[in-house]
Chain A
Amino acid sequence: GQQVMQIPQYQHVQEGEDFTTYCNSSTTLSNIQWYKQRPGGHPVFLIQLVKSGEVKKQKRLTFQFGEAKKNSSLHITATQTTDVGTYFCAGGTGNNRKLIWGLGTSLAVNP
Chain B
Amino acid sequence: EAQVTQNPRYLITVTGKKLTVTCSQNMNHEYMSWYRQDPGLGLRQIYYSMNVEVTDKGDVPEGYKVSRKEKRNFPLILESPSPNQTSLYFCASTLLAGARNEQFFGPGTRLTVL
B97 — which chain A residues lie within 8 A by C-beta?
97
**A34 CA / B104 CA spacing, docked (Å):** 12
**A91 CA / B42 CA spacing, docked (Å):** 14
A103 engages B40 (CB within 8 Å): yes
**A104 CA / B41 CA spacing, docked (Å):** 9
Question: Of B14-22, B60-68, B76-84, B105-113, which stretch is located at the interface?
Answer: B105-113
Task: Return the contact of B102 from the options A45, A93, A101, A103 (Cβ within 8 A).
Answer: A45
**A99 CA / B92 CA spacing, docked (Å):** 12
- Total number of A-B contacts with CB less than 8 angstroms? 53
If A42-B107, A44-B105 touch, whether A101 touches B100 (CB-CB below 8 Å) is: no
Q: How large is the interface on B (under 10, 10 to 19, 20 to 34, 35 or more residues)?
A: 10 to 19
A42 engages B105 (CB within 8 Å): yes
B residues 2-60 with Cβ under 8 Å of A?
40-45
B42 engages A88 (CB within 8 Å): yes
Question: How many whole Å from B61's CB to the nearest CB in chain A?
Answer: 14
Q: At the interface, is chain B mostly helix, strand, loop or mixed?
A: loop
**A48 CA / B94 CA spacing, docked (Å):** 14
Q: Which residues of A are interface residues toward B (Cβ below 8 A)?
A: 30-31, 33, 35, 41-45, 48, 50, 88, 90-93, 96-99, 101-104
* Cβ-closest 8 pairs across A and B: A92-B99, A103-B42, A42-B105, A45-B102, A101-B43, A99-B99, A43-B105, A96-B98
- List 16 additional A-B contacts (Cβ < 8 Å) besides A30-B100, A44-B105: A31-B99, A31-B100, A33-B102, A41-B107, A42-B106, A42-B108, A43-B103, A45-B103, A48-B100, A88-B43, A96-B99, A96-B100, A97-B97, A98-B99, A99-B99, A103-B41
